[in-house]
Amino acid sequence: MASNYRILVVDDDPDIVEMLQYNLTREGYQVAEAENGKKAIAAALAFKPDIILLDVMMPVLDGIAACRQLREMSEFRNTHIIFLTARAEEFSEVAAFEAGADDFLTKPIKPRALLSRLGAYARRDALQEEQDQVIEIGGLRIDRTSFAVYKGENKITLPKKEFELLSFLAATPNKVFSREELLNNVWGSDVYVIARTVDVHIRKVREKIGEDNIKTIKGVGYKFNTD
């Protein structure tokens, strides 16, 4: 599976890039690299990565700005983007998720933890590819094979995590899920994200599909509403 998986490493520290490239290549991943956000966008267009490991603080174009630009391109709406962050950086996780981040890795990076994290993403992607399911509910048609959502005749484009969150809720309508349950089932228990991440993604989904389908249960969580 790893041999078919492409990872773009973006960091202005050549030692970090060399370490990541060595460990990822040894594990069987295809690896490309870039030293700043501007070059990352060009490399991503040429390489078509499944995952982008993206440093936050870089010259020319920082990671947040690069992530935002990548998410505006249809080719990268479903690409996993994982930020590499130093502990001392003053940086808002909410701002990163707003830009389209999926996950974070804290420097100094531990190779075993990195490979475990990437393996979890690869396994979930492989499982998703095996699923052949269309959910029709609440005026929506959710095609899990093509990551497409239709409302009537209108196609609604959602980034991957927003799509997975919507399809997970819609698969069990009227069941209330806590933020922790949604984090574990959509992001995975081995991925570090904060509960606020769910709220950010729910808001973005509502902006695109309308306010009626996903209901907030105060103090509990969210459900896909058919009442």
List, in sequence order, every residue forming a beta bridge with 85; answer none if it has no partner: 106
Whole-angstrom Cα distance, residue 137 to residue 113?
39
CB distance 56 to 89 below 8 Å: yes
List, in sequence order, every residue forming a beta bridge with 84; answer none if it has no partner: 55, 105
Bigger pLDDT: 67 vs 107: 67
What pLDDT, in 10s, does the model give residues 115-173?
988 988 888 777 666 554 788 888 999 988 788 899 988 999 898 899 999 999 998 89
Burial 143-164 (b: 16+ CB within 10 A, else e): bbeebebeeeeeebebbbbbbb
What pLDDT, in 10s, does the model give residues 30-48?
999 999 999 999 999 999 9
CATH of 2-128, one of 3.40.50.300, 3.40.50.2300, 3.20.20.70, 3.40.50.2030: 3.40.50.2300
Residue 190: per-residue pLDDT:
62
What pLDDT, in 10s, does the model give residues 192-220?
667 788 999 999 999 999 988 999 998 89
Angle, CA of 160, 166 and 169, to the nearest 5°: 135
Taking domain 132-224, whether its CATH number is 3.20.20.80 is answered by no
Where do the domains of the chain lie? 2-128, 132-224
pTM of the model: 0.63
How many helices (H) and strands (E) the chain has is answered by 8, 12
- Residue positions counted in the chain: 227
What pLDDT, in 10s, does the model give residues 181-193?
898 888 876 666 6
